[in-house]
Structure 1
Amino acid sequence: MTVAFVVPPAVVPSGGNTYDARIAAALGALGRPVRRVEVPGSWPRPTAADRDRLSRELARLPDGSGALVDGLVACGVPEVVEPHADRLRIVVLVHLPLADETGLPPDEAAALDARERAVLGMTGVVATSGWAARRLADHHGLARVHHVAPGTDPAPLAPGTDGVSRLLCVASVTPRKGHDLLLEALARLDGPWECVCVGPIGRDAHAEHVRARAGALGVRLTGALTGAALESAYSAADLVVLPSRAETFGMAVTEALARGVPVVAARVGGVPEALGRDAGGGRPGLLVAPEDAVALAASLRLWLADRDLRERLRTSARRRRSELAGWKQAARAMCAVLDQEGCR
């Protein structure tokens, strides 16, 4: 039976949107087709019309059928999910717990957290890393949370620029991704460096602050890139930097490693899991304390100054790239989850 995959429209490039699209395609290639059902809306804070649209889509599904639902859509609306929880086999795919989005007022975060707990208590749950699965289970008191990590496509080795100075950050410009911390760290560096930040840029106060600070430092913000333009950005990178305040996995990390590019990243959430170690036990990058621009600057300074360190990290990154799981493996894992949750 075809499983309905209920997702928000992929308006801008993001890790969640990429995961949804790639896992759906990989499931189909394995002979486990899913039917993509897009539900526009201001998720996770939908209007009444948004909730009604989702309710109608779920009501169209035959009794006993399976539905894989993106957590951004499902987790804020227990009143929509509950009438269908007993008659459908619903599995919620949590990319990021709702309350983990940086900058939410405490009362709003608490309300979203309570709604998420209500939804996940009546559905199957799958997260995108082992760390995220454990955290969801502990935080919401869930007996079982599956995890299916993102796959990574094979990619050619990145030649880089000069092997040292081209820094690349691939992330949406939001408070959670920590561009402000990166810019503060870069302002502390004396050595020659060049930094490019790739990702959608909003029009809020945080984005404007990042724009102004980046302009003053000579950091280039490209906006969202896809296809050949994104490949070109990775190809020119000597080091990828991910200064996030929260991450359930960190797909930019594995995308860098697929190209043999070392990583400096904040030690948050599932990032250490994404970075991993090569077969010899070496780290293909450096992990730094979260929300600490001084520590980030120290690691970047070390990268710029220590040739032996650069060579060790680059060698480890090139070894690690051959160990990364692909989307076919991720789809097999998702098949197993759907089977265990009765989505046949």
Structure 2
Amino acid sequence: MTVHAVLPGDVDTVPSGGNVYDRRVLDGLGTLGVTVVAHRLPGPWPDGEAAAVGRVLAEVPDGGPVLLDGLVACGEPTAPAEHADRLRLVVLVHAPLADEVGLLPAAARDRDDRERAALRCAAAVVTTSRWTADRIVDRHGLDPARVVVATPGVDPAQVSPGSAVTGGPPRLLCLGALTPTKGQDVLVEALARVADRPWTATLAGPTGRDPGFVVGLRAAIARHGLAGRVTVPGPLTGRALDATWAAADLLVLPSRAETFGMVVAEALARGVPVVAARVGGVGEAMGPQGPIPGTWVPPENVPALAAALWRWLGDPVLRSGWRLSALARRSTLEPWSSPSVRIARVLDAPGRQR
């Protein structure tokens, strides 16, 4: 089987969760014997040009399976609609487009309309969490039989020793693009409330998506006198990312919206417990059974997040319990081959399933 994959142009350069998922799934399809022809389209997405998508789809032979990243397909649904009757179009939805934090109401409605048009003309839709699947079925009136969940996988990893090796203060990690959606501003305000406890924190991730937010975040760090304890290194990859994980004692995910939370699975693969805002599909990443490997806090609730951090920082027994729960969760995590197998079945299914 030959599959054409239509992707945002930054899929290989920006270390976002969606881009990582796309790359790992395509690698997995190749391992399964699928020939993948990748088409990387310059953006910005979800506001790119229909002509670029149309040119790619026009080259695909009749009946050919096409996997479209949701940013591309839902950002410009005109071209997919024109080719829906002759191709097997499968749209991969990482997150509902209108759920991005900070959108004006008119922009959110426009994105919602475009997403609905794209998903209704697709032969099948793949989502990265059950929460996302339920949300788009309800929002867009989709047939649930056409929506398949393929949750992200995770690579096996060494247990992170954290600060136990150095004897230094506990190290907190917040990993994700610096945007209002990820809520790093909430974390900085919470950290200011526990400044009398020993700790250091790293807020790592791409800084170019909302430069104004990053400027405000750095200003808040300085205003609270945390510049010596909170670092904002930008995106981390390779050895730098591995070293950051190895140093981490706790992952903090203060997101205002989240469809799954791949970083949660990455933390648990290393035995690192998690404090997370209870939003979207994060519960699926934390695990449906057994003791929670950390704790939940309400989204955008600075006092609650500060209280959770205060308890963890001051209670060695609590820290040990969370750590043991995180270590227990490691053996239950799915490998990256799992979503590739599910998506391969969807791409290879006959007909449009409409």
> Of residues 190, 200, 205 in structure 2, which corresponds to 1:194?
200
Aligned residue for 1:176, secondary structure, equals coil
> TM-score, with normalisation over the residues of structure 2?
0.92
Structure 1 partner of 2:21: 19
Report deviation, 1:240: 0.5
* C-alpha contact (below 8 Å) 2:182/2:253 kept by paired residues: yes
Distance 2:102 2:258 in 1: 15
* C-alpha contact (below 8 Å) 1:155/1:259 kept by paired residues: yes
Structure 1 partner of 2:174: 169
**One-letter amino acid of the counterpart of residue 138, structure 1:** D
Distance 1:239 1:134 in 2: 30
Q: Within 5 Å, which residues of 2 pair with 1:83-102?
A: 83-102=82-101
Report deviation, 1:277: 4.8
> TM-score, with normalisation over the residues of structure 1?
0.95
Distance 1:119 1:335 in 2: 20
* C-alpha contact (below 8 Å) 1:91/1:341 kept by paired residues: no
> Of residues 143, 146, 149 in structure 2, which corresponds to 1:147?
149
Distance 2:350 2:187 in 1: 41
Aligned residue for 1:36, secondary structure, equals strand
Report deviation, 1:342: 4.6
Distance 2:247 2:54 in 1: 46
* C-alpha contact (below 8 Å) 1:265/1:287 kept by paired residues: yes
**One-letter amino acid of the counterpart of residue 298, structure 1:** A
List runs of 5+ in structure 1 lacking aligned partners: none
Q: Deviations over 1:30-59 (max 9, x none)?
A: 11232211111221112xxx3211110111
Structure 2 partner of 1:126: 126
Q: Within 5 Å, which residues of 2 pair with 1:20-169?
A: 20-46=22-48, 50-123=49-122, 124-144=124-144, 145-162=147-164, 165-169=170-174
Report deviation, 1:336: 2.3
* C-alpha contact (below 8 Å) 1:187/1:217 kept by paired residues: yes
Report deviation, 1:121: 0.7
Aligned residue for 2:162, secondary structure, equals coil
> Of residues 205, 218, 223 in structure 2, which corresponds to 1:211?
218
**One-letter amino acid of the counterpart of residue 199, structure 1:** G
Structure 2 partner of 1:233: 244
Structure 1 partner of 2:275: 264
Report deviation, 1:285: 1.4
Q: Deviations over 1:198-237 (max 9, x none)?
A: 1011262211101222344221001001011101000000
* C-alpha contact (below 8 Å) 2:206/2:234 kept by paired residues: yes
Q: Within 5 Å, which residues of 2 pair with 1:291-310?
A: 291-310=300-319
Aligned residue for 1:322, secondary structure, equals helix
**One-letter amino acid of the counterpart of residue 273, structure 1:** E
**One-letter amino acid of the counterpart of residue 175, structure 1:** P
* C-alpha contact (below 8 Å) 1:277/1:284 kept by paired residues: no
Taking a change above 3 Å as real, the CA distance of residues 298 and 341 of structure 1, as seen in their structure-2 partners, is farther
Aligned residue for 1:177, secondary structure, equals coil
Distance 1:155 1:73 in 2: 32
List runs of 5+ in structure 2 lacking aligned partners: none
Distance 2:176 2:273 in 1: 16
Distance 2:288 2:295 in 1: 11
Q: Deviations over 1:172-213 (max 9, x none)?
A: 101100010000111111311110111011262211101222
Structure 1 partner of 2:261: 250
* C-alpha contact (below 8 Å) 2:127/2:150 kept by paired residues: yes
Q: CA RMSD in A?
A: 1.4
Q: How many residues align?
A: 338
Q: Deviations over 1:60-105 (max 9, x none)?
A: 1111100000000110212221110111100100111110111000
Distance 1:341 1:7 in 2: 23
Q: Within 5 Å, which residues of 2 pair with 1:289-328?
A: 289-328=298-337
* C-alpha contact (below 8 Å) 1:26/1:331 kept by paired residues: yes
Distance 1:105 1:6 in 2: 28
Distance 2:51 2:278 in 1: 40
**One-letter amino acid of the counterpart of residue 317, structure 2:** D
